[in-house]
Each structure stands twice: as C-alpha cells, then as structure tokens.
Amino acid sequence: MGLDQTKYCIFGAAPMAQPTREYFLSLNIFIGNVYGMSESAGPTTWQYWDDPNYRHNLLSSGQALRGCKILIHNPDQFGEGEICYRGRNCFMGYYKAPSETKGTMDSKGYVHSGDLGKLDESQNLVITGRIKELIITGGGENVAPVPIEDKIKEALPFVSNVVVIGDKMKYLVALITLKHVDVAGQPTDELSEITIDYLKTLGITDFKNKKAIYSNPALIKAIQEGIEKANKAAVSRAAQVRKWSFVNGDLSVAGGELTPTLKLKRKVVHQKYADIIESMYQDPKL
C-alpha cells in the first residue's frame, strides 16, 4: 500500500480517541493532530514530531505553524477563551461579503474561530469546545460541555454518546446512549459487542429487552460511578453532572441528532428529548 513510505501521519477536523493514538504509538506510528479552518487555507497548528526540541502534548493540536500566531481572546481564570490566529496563510476576507468578514476578522488581522481553547506552558493549543456550545448555568458560570462529555466516555467505554445539558439551569444533567452495532455509518437496534461483553459482567443475558437493561441496578450503578469519576476532574462544582438519563437507541445522522461528519446537533437533541431533560429537573432537593 506504500504505507512504509509515509513521512507524516496527521488527522484533523474532529478529535481522535486517545487510546487510538496510543495504540498507533505502540506501533511506532505517531499520528499528529493539526488544527485549522478553510479561512487559514488548511492547518494553523502542527505537532513537530521531527523536532527534538519540541515538547509534545498528546492532548493538544500542537504549536502554531512557523509564520502563524495564536491568540486566546478573552481568557477566563483557567486561560480558556476563543481561539484566534493570524498569518500569511489566512484569507483576506469573504468574497463580496464585507459584513461577514468584519464579523470573523478583527482590525489586527486575527481570525476569530468560534472555537474554545487554551495554550499550555509549551504553547501547545488545547481545544476544549465551541463557543456556541458553551453552557451558561443559572448561577452565571460558563461551562464547556465537550471536555465533560469526553471524560464520561473515557470512564465508560461502552457508552457511545453523552450530551451534557444545563443552559440557564441550576445544575448539569446528561443524556447517555450505549454503543450499538454500526452499519454503513448508521447505528442499528442491536447492541455492540463491547456493550454486550460489559453487560455480561453485570449478569445481564437478555440483550433484546432494552427496558430491563436500562433499569438494571448494576448498570445504573456503573454509569453513576463513571460520572462520579468524571466529576472529580471537573474544574468547578458547576461543571459536575448531577443527574443523567438513558436515551433509547443511539444518536444518528438519520435521526437528525448528528451532522454528516458526526458532529452533535445540540439544539435538535434538546428538542427531541425535551421530556426526558425536563424530568431530570423535577427534583426539588437539587
């Protein structure tokens, strides 16, 4: 296939699971993360794996390409803010759309990406989410849902999707789906092998009765323990998930919850599962 002649292995556009990257590293294949947009003619950051002086951060998208500059706009107390960048690779503006250009590029030539992120001590860019996805709780705290969702999925490898909700609410809640068999990019009603294997360890043998599975005390306990583990890594109490609920089946492109590139349509999920979400805010003790 010519893979023995490959000089660089890279990925972008969406995150890659950390265990996947570590697996390829065990084969001595470094897959570097790059970050960029059409407005930057491709990548803006690069992981310089061929530079012995470069300090790697596998959780990052690397450092700014030579000739590019990254600015974190309006950072919070954790150094997290909007990712902005400029350089010779950046566009001059949208064709015949001065108002849209002005809304994207500031007077100093920085392109405002709409992505949230921060720079580590070695100036590696760590992407944490989208500004439009930012949750502003009822207490006025800004919470990025994506890192929370990733932490929960990391603790529960048989879970396919986690959707954290809590805009203008007193606390965060989450919708959770189990992994299902995927056919041609679409999940089926059949649970995946990894899910079935885990359910067997809990003593569950009937994999057709979803209602019984979702109400199984052992599974509920396992999910709760995974969420509590993720909560321990939360940056604040406001960023902890207090309640959760299963969604029957899985999220999909056909169902309208995911884009063709498998990005979450939060608004659609909120509307589609409004009853489940509302039920998690009925507890007067919280």
- Rounded to an integer, what distance in angstroms lies between the CA atom of residue 45 and that of residue 13? 12
Residue range 3-129, CATH number = 2.30.38.10
Classified by CATH at the fold level, domain 135-279 comes out as GMP Synthetase; Chain A, domain 3 (3.30.300)
Instruction: Give 284's pLDDT tier (boundaries 50, 70, 90).
Output: low
User: What does pLDDT average to over the chain?
Assistant: 89
Q: Which amino acid is at 129?
A: G
**8 A C-beta contact, residue 257 and residue 217:** no
Provide, rounded to the nearest whole percent, the portion of the chain with pLDDT above 90.
50
pLDDT of residue 286: 57
Dist. CA 33–CA 151, nearest whole Å: 19
CB 113 within 8 Å of CB 131: no
Distance CA 85, CA 101 (A): 14
- Could you give the CA distance from residue 57 to residue 41 in angstroms, rounded to a whole number? 24
What is the arithmetic mean of pLDDT over 65-70?
Answer: 93
pLDDT tens by residue, 256-275: 898 877 788 888 999 999 99
> Among 44-48, 58-62, 184-188, 218-222, which is the least confidently predicted range?
184-188
Using DSSP's 3-state secondary structure scheme, residue 132 falls into helix
Give me the percent of the chain exceeding a pLDDT of 70: 98
Report the candidate in 80, 269, 246, 237 with the shortest Cα–Cα distance to residue 170.
237
pLDDT of residue 132: 76
Q: Is the pLDDT of residue 105 over 90?
A: yes
Q: Where are the domains of the chain?
A: 3-129, 135-279
- Stated as kind and residue range, the H or E segment containing 64 is strand 63-64
pLDDT digits (tens, 9 = 90+) for 154-195: 999 999 999 999 988 999 999 999 999 988 767 888 999 999
pLDDT digits (tens, 9 = 90+) for 116-157: 899 999 999 998 877 878 888 888 888 889 889 989 999 999
Beta strands of 157-248 (E only): which ranges? 159-165, 172-178, 180-183, 186-191, 241-246
Long-range CB contacts (< 8 A, 24+ apart) of 264-273? 264/161, 264/163, 266/133, 266/163, 269/163, 269/175, 270/165, 273/175, 273/247
**Mean pLDDT, residues 221-233:** 94
Number of residues written out for the chain:
286
- Say how far residue 205 (Cα) sits from the centre of its chain: 32
pTM (predicted TM-score) = 0.67
